Amino acid sequence: MKTSRELFKQTVSHQQPDRMVIDFGSTAVTGIHVLTVENLRKHFGLEQKPVRVIEPFQMLGEVDEELLEMLTIDVISALGEDNMFGFNNNAPFKEFETFWGQTVLVPENFNTKIDEEGDLLMFPAGDMSVPASAKMPQASYFFDAIIRQESVEDDKLDPENNLQEFELITESELKYWKETTEKARATGKAVIASLGGTALGDIALVPGMQLRAPKGIRDVTEWYMSTIMRPDYIKSVFDKQIELAIENHKRLYEVIGDNIDAVFTCGTDFGTQDSTFCAPEQFDDMWFPYYRRLNDWIHENTNWKTFKHSCGAVEPFMPKFIEAGFDIINPVQINATGMDPAHLKKEYGKDLVFWGGGIDTQKTLPYAKPEVVRDETLRLCEIFSKDGGFVFNTVHNVQANVPVENLVAMLDAVKEFNQ
C-alpha cells in the first residue's frame, strides 16, 4: 500500500493514484474553523478538550493526529513560527473563551481586550501598548484587519515602507524550519509549507497586522487603486520583495531540502464572484514577471511544487498561471462565473493540479440537505480526480456552524468514492 506522500507525488505528477488524496487543515486556505473542528471531534467520539487555534486571524483549528486519521488526511503543514499577528504561534498555550462560548487554546501572546462597542481587539506582536491591528465583532467568528494607514503623500512614498515585514531570514528561523520540516516529513504524509515573503499584494497581508506602526500603503482600497495609479511604486515593492524571497528560499532549501513537497507561494486573489479583478494586460505587466521568476527558481533548484491561491472567477487567467509556472491552483471556486468543473478539468487539467473545488462552501455545504451534499461531492470527485491532478478539499476554509450532518455526508461521499 502506498504512503500518503507517494499518493501525493502521483497526484501532482498527473498520474492516477490508487485513491484520491485528501487535505483538511494543511494551509490557511484549506482549513477548518475551530468551532467546526470541535463539532467534528464530538461526532467522532474523540476526547473533548480545547481545540488549538493554529491560525488566529481566521480562527482555524488544529486537525490533530486523532482527527487526522479519522478524516484520512494525506497532507499536513509545516507551520511557521509566527502567525499573521506577529507573535509566536507555538506553546506555551492558554485557554481563551470565544464570543460563541467555545474554550480554545491560543498562544500566550494572544492578547486581546473588549472595546467600547463590545468587540474584541487584537494587537500586533501581542503588544497592547500600541493601537490594535484587528477586530472581531461580537457576532463574528473571525477577525477583520483594522486599517492603520497614515496619510499618503505621493512625493514622500518610499517602497521601503511597504517592505517593513520582509527581511532576510535569521539563523534561529532556519533552525526552526529545519526541525519543523524534519518532524513533518517523519509522518509519511505529504508536506506543504508557507515559507513567507512572497505575498505580492496578498490583500490579507497588506494592512501589516503584525507591525506595530505600519508605513506606506496599508489601506486595502488605496492598495487596489495604487495598482493603477502608482504602478511603478508597486513594482518597486515587488522587485525587492522577490529579491529577498529568492535569497531566503535559497537559504531555506539548504536546511529543508526535500522535507517538503509543496510550497504555498502566494495568496493574491484575482477574481470576484463574477469577473477578474484586473485586465489580462495588467496581470502580465504587474504580477507575471515576479511569479515566473520565483517559480523558475523553485523548479530549477528544488523538487517542490508551487501552490497558488486565488478566489473567484479566474478561468481567463488559468493559461497565465500555467505560463507563470504554477503547479497547483486553489481553491477552485466552482460557483464563480466561468468556473465550470468539467471545462476546467478538460482545458487545464493536464497542466494544473486542482487543490479544492470538492464542494461548494458558500451554499451547498452550509445550507443544502445531506443527500445534496453527497451527490455534489461525488460528482465533483468524478470530474476532478480523473488522471490524477486533484487534491480533495472544499472551496476555501470550512466555516463555523456548518451542520455536522452535512460535513459527515461530504466525508462519507469521499470515502465512498475512494472505495
For 353-387, write each residue's pLDDT tens digit: 999 999 999 999 999 999 999 999 999 999 999 99
Question: How confident is the prediction for the chain on average, in pLDDT?
Answer: 97
Longest dimension (CA), the chain: 63
Q: CA dist 318 to 53, 113, 202, 325, Å? A: 33, 43, 18, 11
Residue 392: strand, helix, or coil:
strand
Peptide bond into 319 cis (omega under 30): no
Burial of 410 (0-12, 13-18, 19+ CB in 10 A): buried
Paired with 106 in beta bridges are 94
Query: Facing residues of 383 across strands?
Result: none
Grid cell for residue 198:
512572497
Percent of the chain whose predicted confidence (pLDDT) is above 70: 100
Residue 144: exposure state from Cβ atoms within 10 A (0-12, 13-18, ≥19): middle
Q: Which residues of 296-326 are buried (b: 16+ CB within 10 A; e: fewer)?
A: ebbeeebebbbbbbbbbbbbebbebbeebbb
C-alpha–C-alpha distance, residues 151 and 149, integer Å: 7
User: Is residue 330 a contact partner of residue 356, using CB atoms and an 8 Å limit?
Assistant: yes
Tens of pLDDT along 195-240? 999 999 999 999 999 999 999 999 999 999 999 999 999 999 999 9
In which residue are the cell numbers 458558500 written? 362
State the architecture of 4-88+151-418 in CATH terms: Alpha-Beta Barrel (3.20)
The strand pair at 112-114 and 120-122 is best described as antiparallel
The predicted structure's pLDDT at residue 1: 85
Residue 112: per-residue pLDDT: 98
- Tens-digit pLDDT string for the chain (419 aa): 899 999 999 999 999 999 999 999 999 999 999 999 999 999 999 999 999 999 999 999 999 999 999 999 999 999 999 999 999 999 999 999 999 999 999 999 999 999 999 999 999 999 999 999 999 999 999 999 999 998 999 999 999 999 999 999 999 999 999 999 999 999 999 999 999 999 999 999 999 999 999 999 999 999 999 999 999 999 999 999 999 999 999 999 999 999 999 999 999 999 999 999 999 999 999 999 999 999 999 999 999 999 999 999 999 999 999 999 999 999 999 999 999 999 999 999 999 999 999 999 999 999 999 999 999 999 999 999 999 999 999 999 999 999 999 999 999 999 999 99
Residue given cell 511544487 in the structure block: 305
DSSP-derived 3-state class of residue 391: strand
